[in-house]
Structure 1
């Protein structure tokens, strides 16, 4: 599914909402499995090291998983940075004119911008999870830049209850907690998103009520878990 969606994403046309979601799910499923493996193997390696045992076999396996993680992250980041984001930032005159004639909702463009920059932030965050030194610093900086750009766009163009804006706040707060080791900022961001959404609860449509409820619960869970230093949930 990844290769099929990648082929569509690198074509000339902008993705529809359904195609955009399928692309996200395809890569999320692949990266999710690799991240889970990496966490298990890294945990086993640390336990063996603490016992003073040889860990070369585990270390070799971990490095193979990390190589796979890098390939996946760089693959989708290439699609985002060279294809999907440029299409939004430099729309053709014909596309702009056609959208105006069709009465297209300007918020749809903002939604796509937030969606893709959130994805960009996510995958640089994944790189920062297992890389070290300068590579980790670079990945963290690029993740922060992408999340911040998406956050600025979402705050100005999307309602507080919008599922993409909420999902962005969820993952951005996880970035602050896990990558920048800033629990105070993470909690502040998550709580602000939660409170803003509660204040605007009347704007929720029935169609999006389930998405809203799910992400709000994850935000609430993280705010609770972080006080106990447990692993946070992500969108």
Structure 2
């Protein structure tokens, strides 16, 4: 059985590889079996969570297990053979989680966003923001990237411009929502980030950050204006 670290995953797996893998996984999802996320919380505030799936066409069964301590996540992924049941690989899952989540958004963006989308706006400046921008540039030739968030905005805009060759600039959250052709929210906000009236018709919105019932990034207006809603579960 192999063991791969976060660094090895980053070195071995490129963004385009992750997107191709997610396309294949979604295409065969109906053939597989999926386990909903299970969360267990202790009295000291430590949370242990797990989700899993079996994809027969890939010959893989796997589960991701992770802790949440003081708002920080640490992930491990375990893969098994769906033919023999033998354990195949254990991976540190932090780098993989960033790649996988962004790749899923990129597949959705490619299927649903306008082909002429020119402006990408990202609300949030953490790990997922850094994963999403290069992934989305794989599926649309954006002319500019707008960065909004609470901290680290200037550093992220400079990094995007320098490493990805696409002009990036810092804007307010409202400006990001109003100017975007594709808008990605990757925050832990407990309340809506902006007034849904700001969104232009035809904008593709990927609300990624909220994964619990007591948090949300979009308001009722944004949801009500949607031409269609697609949920990854």
- The structure with the largest helix share of the pair is 1
Q: Which has the higher strand share?
A: 2
Q: TM-score, normalised by structure 1?
A: 0.28
**Rg: which structure is higher?**
1
